Amino acid sequence: MSDNKSPSDIDRIIGQRLRLRRRELKLTQDKLAQLLNLTFQQVQKYEKGVNRIAAGRLYDIAKGLGVPITYFYDGVEDMLENNRQALAEENPDAAAPVMTGEMLELVAAFQAIRDDGLRKSLLAAIKAAAKASEDGA
């Protein structure tokens, strides 16, 4: 096991969620830093998953961004498992993927859909498209 101070996949995912929420609120990293009484560089490091976010700090961030703390953890188990499976198949030494701006936009749009049935249908369609793409590759 690596040392406990090193960021893990979960740290990177939480950083991605932080970035996603900041972008949803149309805040710059500098504005978010001011809101949370942090430095611009600290926000950057949190978003990139370079620095871990302590529990108390994450609580303050969630409160400042107007989301429950669970926002940062919802669906994480599935993401971690999917990453582990993909990495085991492709390259066991690879790091967890970082979400692109396009991926973050997709997640934000998906989260905005309140109709559970529609969300499940869209997810099924996306998974079918991904499988078709893999099969055709």
pLDDT in tens, 9-38: 888 889 989 999 999 999 999 999 999 999
The 10s digit of each residue's pLDDT in 84-107 is: 665 555 554 445 556 667 777 788
CA distance 108 to 122: 14
pTM above 0.75, yes or no: no
pLDDT attached to residue 97: 56
Cβ atoms 120, 35 nearer than 8 A? no
Domains contained in the chain, number:
2
**81 lies in the same domain as 20:** yes
Residue 87's CATH number? 1.10.260.40
Range of the domain at 44: 1-98
Torsion of Cα atoms, 87 then 89 then 91 then 95, to 10°: 0
The 10s digit of each residue's pLDDT in 32-61 is: 999 999 999 999 999 998 899 999 999 999
